[in-house]
Structure 1
Amino acid sequence: MSTVPARHYDVVILGGGFAGVYCAQQATKRLKGTGKTVALIAAENHMVFQPMLPEVVGGSLSPRHVVNPIRLICPRADVLKGTVFALDLHHKTLTLTGGQFTPDVKVTFDHLVLCLGADVDVSRIPGMAEHAYLMRNVGDAMKLRAAIISRMEEANLISDETTRRKLLNFVVVGGGYSGVETAGQIMDLLHSVSKFYENIKPEDFSVSLIHSGEHLLPMLSTSLATYTEKKLSEMGVKLMLKQRVRSVTARFVVLEDGTKLEATSVVCTVGNAPHPLIVRLGQQRALTVERNKVMVNPTGQALGQTHVWSAGDCASFPKSGGGSCPETAQFAYRQGLMIGDNIALAMKGEMLKTFDFKGLGELASIGHRSAVANMMGFNFSGILAWFMWRTVYLMKLPGLDRKLRVMTEWTFDLFFPRDINLLTPQYSSPMEEMHLEAGDILFLSGEPAQSFYAVKQGRVNITDDKNEVVKSATKGDHFGERALLGDRIWRFNATAMEPTTLVAISARTFDKLVSSIGSLSQLFKRTAETYDRPQDIEHVLAKLPQRCRSGVARDLMITDVAVLREDGMLSEALELFQKERHSTYPVVDASGHVRGVLRRNECYQWLKHHAMDEKARVRDLPLHRPLFIAPDMPLPDVFETLIRTGASKAIISGSDFKLQGMLTLFDLLTCPVTPEATPAEVAVPVM
């Protein structure tokens, strides 16, 4: 693999949220004309204005109006779309991957800003990951809105009232900002569009909001929380406070007290999890990480660091007056701006600023032109708070063009019905077919492993750094399990040797399969052992007796083999099983040509479904194609072939496929030190 030269930046910012984007804006502004370079690395090329995602669900806003291209917001920064999978703070280097067909990019830096935000993990509640809709990005909001309209279309075709109402039960889990705003928007949408469905009445649909606390919106005052609960109840939202979800199925939400709620649409707004890169840095003790957040000084510098900074949801940022800053946009925005300033000051050797922002207040839209707000210590509610909510967030929205578009859409929303087009987003399947031509490279050593592959047609060679073949995968073979079960880094290269069709299974789907099917896990762990480098095999060979390293297959093969004829009766096979207790038996025709091998345990499995059929012949049993080895193949090559194929036994035969003997891996590993005479050719025993 060719070495890609590293790109160097004076400042590298990880994360495309509020903290990362505004840090990049401020840093490039302060460093303008100095020749210093700034790069922003993000998984997406756009910034999501998350406070407005519920408006996308409710159809008040178009999805494209709540996202902004980072390149337009930060025109002076280099924007790199990719995922960082290796970070070395000591040597100030990181490696990112940008996609399946993009080579890894190595980046060096002088200052690093971690604004990675939080991840999501709903696996702690059984069934939540499989059956719930999330509210993390624009795709989630579009998918949820499409699901709501789809449920309405389906329910409109149902004549039975009970069945129709079950289908139109919506459950939202989580009573924070996202949960409250999403529940209100869903109810608003249902009321607005139900009049266009002749078979659906307002009493047919319901929205339930489940929250573990005593009041919704615990970050606001009790009076505002109570007002929120009152308004949502008046809208028809069923509040279930002091309740936790135990599990979720395709048709039910089960609460901790055993209550079952019938629902086919569940929205999850809880389940925040730390970013994996932050967790890794904490485990490596590269940074001070507590409760999965980077501990920082009031200047934004990570504790004990001068060139590493952090802001936003992944940082524990001290708040003026004590405690830590809340995980809200207004704090992340200002933290990013201050760090941008401080990096410029640090480069000049000047005194750094400290964070003293205390917050302007909190706002939450609860739907139906109503909101709650706490601004400058004063509480507001109703339509005035709703007007304040829209005004504040409109001003915060980056870009004049987005402000005008959103203002126009909100104005239209006052006079025209909401859009009920069912535009179902098409999502990538966890299993995809891909075609490679001869010479195409699938992956290279050192790249991150993101898929498991099965060969549908063609051939892929897995080679090491010396270009020696580790495995040649043909039709029916698979590869990739070693990397996915390990550190998720490819240790070999994969190249198509002819036109090839592969089935690619995503790493996430692979994990689910392996974790849920024990036998599959054991299979992949066993096949992963076949990917040994030539030097690893040579190391083992060096420990074997000289005879196993200098002889050929016929020197160690077993000639007294228990053999079955393909036209023999089933009863004869069972008699042989009792007489010669082996796991595998060669099956030959009348001329001694090998037609396959029969595994004893699979014969017994066959009998469970076919009983003792007196007419059954050996050829009717499940036969497998054996591994054929030439009698003059050197024993080191035999050893490597057995390892590469994962086989423990091989049939010794010439080009005519006539059985001459068998050789097992056990025979190679336990061959006697004292050489014996080479056996002569012997006739195949006939039964």
Structure 2
Amino acid sequence: MNTVTRPRILVVGAGFAGVECVRRLERRLSPGEAHITLVTPFSYQLYLPLLPQVASGVLTPQSIALSLRRSTKYRTRIIPGGAIGVDLRSKVCVIRTLTGRVVDEPYDYIVLAPGSVTRTFDIPGLTDHAFGMKTLAEAAYIRDHVISQLDLADASVDPAERASRLQFVVVGGGYAGTETAACLQRLTHAAVRRYPRLDPSLIKWHLIDIAPRLMPELGERLGRSAQEDLRRRGIEISLGVSIAKAGPEEVTFTDGRVVPTRTLIWTAGVVASPLIATLGADTVKGRLAVTAEMCLPGYDGVFALGDSAAVPDLAKGDGAVCPPTAQHATRQGRRVAENLIATLRNQPMRPYQHKDLGLVVDLGGKDAVARPLGLEMHGLPAQAVTRGYHLGAMRTNVAKVRVGTSWLLNAVAGDDFVRTGFQARKPAKLKDFEYTDAYMTPDQVREHVAREHSGRL
């Protein structure tokens, strides 16, 4: 095929699903078979499971930002921006670039892997006063914020202000929230030794969740073990509790307690990217309804996967869908690439099937829980398995060396507890990082594409 007639493949999103799909397409397709384009605001893949360790300073931001341009064989065209709408009938993706310019990108095949955003509720003050833990910028910002609270508390002569700055609340008892609370508690526990004027007993971490158990996917025994580890370290865990309202200097729990705090971190789950709502297609709890082959029914050349797609879980059956995890997203990326290649070559597609490898949770230091292939572990053996899994899952050898070296250096030398400058005078909260108001409605997408088309005629 020449460059005019070769099909255009557009991949939306550079998370685990999108990047794995692009890598497989590049390996399996010759340059003449297709033109591949990737839409992403950043030219890196974020290794999301280690984000809490960036927030705590164990890892640097660069360690888990895996460059998409390191490979000498990389031939995918990258559009630096975010997809804000897709017209499935006209086969056009509407993109807002980093400069704010809105452009249209036509395609023949599209792979929708835009991921997810933080799930929020209609809680007074939540988006104005809470931090999220979903992006690299948020993790770096939270680290600066937590250290600044220690600095400000140390300098304060007001006991009430000092108490509020030294209390921290994390909402969400899943993997993200539990690891965030665990890692940041270790940060403040180690840092307070450098503040002789601060009473360590004033530093209090609260981990709350509306569910009756922490990380229920781990099972009762391992979940209880993780809970005991956290409580032993002084983290107060409240289950069956959520946030009633949030303010700049205090948070009210649904059980009536009022906690003076300047730090509320919200990690209570995720929802599909708002891009999915622009399609006007059927969804399952907000995720795009797709077949086991990850095709969108009724539309030619549309594939969807990862956090934004309700991919049937054939291993469980009974209408179950795959949970939004990195493990599933990576495997789905490979299968979608193979199915897209099969479509190009007029071969049959195969459904997505998987074998669960287990779960790992890093609680910092020597504390961890893991269930590799059904074997329950906790403590140092679990930590070895957990960190070994993360190193094995990272895409580049450079990233593996950086992360491994950072773990070793932190274990030997500790942290310097310095702020890097992300903590500016104007606070940046949950609503400021994910740009969820940037997307079009289905009608706006159709009107925009029709207007642009008529303007070219």
TM-score, shorter chain, exceeding 0.5 = yes
Aligned-partner Cα distance in 2 for 1:69–1:378:
34
Residues 291-370 of structure 1 correspond to what in structure 2 (within 5 A)? 291-321=285-315, 322=317, 323-370=320-367
SS at 1:267's partner residue?
A: strand
The code of the aligned residue for 1:376 comes to: L
Give the C-alpha shift of residue 392 in structure 1: 0.6
After superposition, give the CA deviation of every residue in 1:269-323 in whole Å (9 maximum; x if it has no partner): 12533322211213xxxx3322211111111112233411011000001112211
- Counterparts of 1:288 and 1:181, CA distance in 2: 34
Cα distance, 1:429 vs. partner? 7.3
Asked whether the equivalents of residues 93 and 109 of structure 1 are also in contact (C-alpha less than 8 Å), the reply is yes
Secondary structure of 2:27's partner? helix
The question of whether the paired residues in 2 share the 8 Å contact of 1:7 and 1:107 is answered with no
Question: Residue 183 of structure 1 aligns to a residue in which SS?
Answer: helix
Contact 1:297 1:303 (C-alpha < 8 Å) held by counterparts: yes
Post-superposition offset of 1:244: 1.6
SS at match of 2:279: helix
Q: Which has the higher contact order (CA 8 A, sep 6+)?
A: 2
> Could you tell me whether the CA contact under 8 Å between 1:121 and 1:271 is conserved in 2?
yes
Summarize deviations over 1:553-603 as a string: whole Å, max 9, x none.
xxxxxxxxxxxxxxxxxxxxxxxxxxxxxxxxxxxxxxxxxxxxxxxxxxx
Number of residues of Structure 1 aligned to a counterpart in Structure 2 = 430
Among candidates 343, 368, 372, match of residue 371 of structure 1: 368
* Conservation of the 8 A alpha-carbon contact between 2:289 and 2:296: yes
Which residue is equivalent to 1:673? none
| Structure 1 partner of 2:89 | 90
d(CA) in 1 for partners of 2:134, 2:424: 16
Letter in 2 for 1:66: I
Which residue number in structure 1 is paired with residue 284 of structure 2? 290
Q: Describe how 1:242-261 pairs up with structure 2 within 5 A.
A: 242-261=240-259
> TM-score with structure 1 length normalisation?
0.59
The Cα shift of 1:229 comes to: 0.6
Match of residue 508 from structure 1: none
Q: 1:394 aligns with which of 391, 396, 417?
A: 391
CA drift of 1:423 comes to 1.5
> 1:254 and 1:327 mapped to 2: Cα distance?
30
Aligned to 1:212: 210
Provide the C-alpha distance between the structure 2 equivalents of 1:253 and 1:160, rounded to a whole number of angstroms.
Answer: 19
CA offsets per residue over residues 454-494 of structure 1, 9 Å max, x none?
A: xxxxxxxxxxxxxxxxxxxxxxxxxxxxx99x95999xxxx
Give the letter aligned to residue 94 of structure 2: T
- Alpha-carbon deviation of 1:8? 8.3
Question: CA 1:105–1:167 in structure 2 vs 1: closer, same or farther (change >3 Å)?
Answer: closer
C-alpha deviations, 1:74-110, integer Å up to 9, x for none? 81211111122342212212232213365x4332212
Give 3-state SS (helix, strand or coil) of 1:299's partner: coil
Measure the CA separation in 2 of the matches of 1:288 and 1:332.
Answer: 20
- Match for residue 157 of structure 1? 155
Kindly indicate whether the alpha-carbon contact (under 8 Å) linking 2:293 and 2:350 is maintained by their aligned counterparts in 1. yes
Correspondence for 2:413: 416
Question: Are residues 119 and 7 of structure 1, via their aligned partners in 2, closer, same or farther at CA, if it must alter by over 3 Å?
Answer: farther
TM-score normalised by structure 2 residue count: 0.88
**How far apart are residue 50 of structure 1 and its match?**
0.8
Letter in 1 for 2:360: L
Tell me which amino acid in the other structure corresponds to 1:418.
D
Hey, what's the Cα distance between the residues in 2 that align with 1:379 and 1:303?
40
Provide the rounded CA distance (Å) in 1 between the counterparts of 2:272 and 2:339: 26
What stretches of structure 1 of length at least 5 have no aligned partner?
Answer: 1-5, 431-448, 451-482, 491-687
Q: Distance in 2 between matches of 1:133 and 1:392?
A: 28
1:38-94, Cα deviation, whole Å (9 max, x unpaired) = 111112222111111100111100111111222336812111111223422122122
Structure 1 stretches (4+) deviating beyond 6 angstroms?
A: 426-430
The corresponding residue for 1:472 is none
Q: How does 1:508-547 map to 2 (within 5 A)?
A: none
| CA deviations over 1:312-365 (Å, ceiling 9, x no partner) | 000001112211111110100000011011111111111212211031001111
Aligned residue for 1:300, secondary structure, equals coil
Distance 1:191 1:153, change over 3 A: same
Q: Could you say which residue in structure 1 is the equivalent of 2:13?
A: 15
1:554-565, aligned counterparts within 5 Å?
A: none
Question: Residues 117 and 134 of structure 2 are in contact (CA less than 8 Å); yes or no, is this contact kept in structure 1?
Answer: no
How far apart are the structure 1 equivalents of 2:8 and 2:331?
22
Which runs of structure 2 are paired with 1:599-678 in the superposition (5 Å)? none
8 Å Cα contact 1:215/1:241 also seen in 2: yes
Paired with 1:169 and 1:30, the residues of 2 have a C-alpha distance of 53
Q: Counterpart of 1:633?
A: none
Give, in angstroms, the shift of residue 165 of structure 1: 2.8
Deviation at 1:32, TM superposition (A): 2.2
Question: Which deviates further from its counterpart, 263-272 or 225-234?
Answer: 263-272
Separation in 1 of the partners of 2:161 and 2:135? Answer: 32
Structure 2: 5+ residue stretches without partners: 428-436, 449-457
